[in-house]
Structure formats: structure tokens, C-alpha cells
Copies of this chain bind each other. A is one copy, B any other.
Amino acid sequence: MGIADDAVEIRAHGWRTLAALHALIENALERVLQGEHGLSVVEYTVLDALARQDGRHMRMRRLARAAALSNSAATRLVTRLEDRGLLTRVLCADDRRGIYTELAPAGLELLERARPTHDRVLREALAEAGGTPELAPLVGALRGLEPRPLP
């Protein structure tokens, strides 16, 4: 049992903890967002990512990366949201291979209606995880991550 073995075990433990916390939060979000707004977590993530983007548009490839999805999954996800009128496909002018997905007004509206729910559930899930001895340290570490590192 050397130092190297310890490092391996620390990484494995960190990964198990990360996965457990991720599953806890995602399941909670999935349940409530689906029930109250008809949105899955990935769908919310995509709408949110689009809203944060300048011009509210994004290329498919970027969108797939942002949501950690395959190309095919991104295509169908965008199709679903487009059918619901939450976003629109816009062809690229300069690169005719590319397709922009642009957030529609209805999409922005739904997003802003769902955001308080999202934030509330996230806060509750983190609080619950903070009460679990196994997860508490990671929850604490998450608080230290600043969106914009202070100068």
C-alpha cells in the first residue's frame, strides 16, 4: 500500500462521490422540471445555454458540446424544441454547412418561468446532500467555485 495506491483510491473515491452527487441533483431536477414545466434537464440546459449566448443563437456543434450530447441527440433535441416553438433553426450565411439554433420568444419565456423552479430545487438538493456525511465535503467545495475569479 504505497503512496501511488493511495492516489488511485482517492481518485476513485472522488469520482464515486462526484457521480453520486450528480445523480442526486439530476434526478431531483428531472422530476420537478418535468412535472412543473414539461422540461427535461438537458432541455433546460440547452435553453439556458442559448439564453446566455450573445444573440441567443448557437451552432449545433457547440450546442451538442455544451450539453455533452452526441450529434444525433442534439439534432433530435433541437427538433423537439423546435416543434414546441421554443427555438428556431436558422441557416448560416457564411458557412452553408452550419445551422444556427436561435432561442424563440416562447423559449425565453418558458425558461424564465422555469428558472426559479430550477434554482429552488438545486438549492434544496444541495442542502440535502450537505446533510449526507459522504457528500457534504464535495458540496462545500462546490461553494468555493467562483463564477468570476476575483482579482
Contact = CB atoms under 8 A, between A and B. Distances in A.
Nearest to A139: B14
Interface in A1-30: 8-15, 17-27
Nearest to A8: B119
A15 B122 contact: yes
B21 A18 contact: yes
> DSSP majority for the A interface?
helix
A20 B69 CA distance: 11
A92 interface: no
A86 interface: no
A143 B22 contact: no
Interface residues of A, number: 35
A128 to B, nearest CB: 13
Contact of A10 (B26, B27, B145): B145
Interface in A75-107: none
A147 interface: yes
A35 interface: no
B19 A18 contact: no
Interface of A: 8-15, 17-27, 45, 68, 118-119, 122-123, 126, 137-138, 141-147
